[in-house]
Amino acid sequence: MGKQPVIHVAGDRPDLEAAVREAGGRTGPLDEADGLVWLDGDPSKLPELPPSVRWVQLPSAGVEQWLRAGVVGDRPVFTSAVGAFGLPVAEHALALLLAAAKAIPRFARASSWEPDGRHRVRALEGATVAIVGAGGIGRALISLLAPFGAEVIAVTRRGRPVPGAARTLPADRTAEAWPAAHYVVVAAPATDGTRHIVGAHELAAMRADAWLVNVARGSLVDTDALVEALRSGSIAGAALDVTDPEPLPDGHPLWELALVTPHVATPPEAEARHFARRVRENVRRLAAGDELEGVVDPEGGY
């Protein structure tokens, strides 16, 4: 254990101050701080950092705006909340998968009894679920899917085996997942390389009875191509917690064509709890001189 780190929490968050103390640090003013826990998503509001600051904890998993602003460099080390909210987001993804499997969007909009409605419903048991971006969210979703008996294809950047997945594909073999899956869950980070990772070509490669579920960022899906695929019936449906544009404008075709939730996968109380856990762990690591969790990679874009 090194010296007790001084952490400045930039906001009225007693829970984060407690997390700092529990991890062996102490809170203090910015001009004395070794680390900064920043709670605003606007990079332009980040103050000039004193030389003593070695670490900045950002509040969200997505860091696109921070990279565009050119704020992140070699020093101090910036960490995001990537992976910290994996379980609640995975829980929401599971809810969307079940809604798709059980035809909830169709039945919720119905105004008369459908005698053969049970033929619209299917089980997750025996279905194939492709998870594109099997990081914190994807791995949590694999665990939640285990009791249902679904087969999982995990897609990761390098294709290293993911526990619980029947097989893992590297990113350059993602094309193999589209025709194989009954459900495709998008859970990858938003980078220049993942923009429109699901476009017209990918949608055309999917099964006619497949559903697309997006709990990552709206920019990963080509909205115009998705609208066309849903209108033409080339895929069975889409369930989206994120959209492009976002917020989704009133009257947009996706309101009628897809199941849309308004970017609510992480409930506020769960977000606060999991973020405090990330702060606690990173303060502990900072004090011990260990590698921090969620280090932002400017070259990788996340």
How is the chain split into domains, by residue range? 6-84+267-288, 86-260
pLDDT of 302 reads 86
Give yes or no for residue 1 having a pLDDT over 80: no
Task: Please tell me which residue, 193 or 281, carries the higher pLDDT value.
Answer: 281
Residue 300: pLDDT over 70: yes
pLDDT recorded at residue 299 = 83
User: How far apart (Å, rounded) are the C-alpha atoms in residues 19 and 16?
Assistant: 5
Residue-wise pLDDT for 250-291, tens only, equals 999 999 999 999 999 999 999 999 999 999 999 999 999 999
| Average pLDDT value for residue range 175-185 | 98
Asked whether the predicted pLDDT for residue 36 surpasses 70, the reply is yes
Superfamily of structural domain 86-260: NAD(P)-binding Rossmann-like Domain (3.40.50.720)
> Hey, do 6-84+267-288 and 86-260 end up sharing a CATH topology, with the first three levels equal?
yes
Question: Which one-letter amino acid corresponds to residue 120?
Answer: R
Tell me what pLDDT residue 8 has: 98
Q: Which CATH class is domain 6-84+267-288?
A: alpha beta
Instruction: Tell whether the model's pLDDT for residue 26 goes beyond 90.
Output: yes
**Which residues belong to the active site?**
217, 246, 263
Contact status, residue 9 vs residue 31, Cβ threshold 8 Å: no
User: Can you give the pLDDT at residue 2?
Assistant: 62
Stated pTM of the model:
0.92
Q: Which residues contact 55 (CB under 8 A, 6 or more apart)?
A: 34, 35, 36, 76, 77, 78, 79, 282, 286, 292
CA 25 to chain centroid, in Å, comes to: 29
Distance CA 139, CA 145 (A): 10
CA pair distance 27, 75, nearest whole angstrom: 21
The candidate with the shortest Cα–Cα distance to 205, out of 214, 194, 197, is 197
Per-residue pLDDT reduced to its tens digit, 44-96: 999 999 999 999 999 999 899 999 999 898 789 999 999 999 999 999 999 99
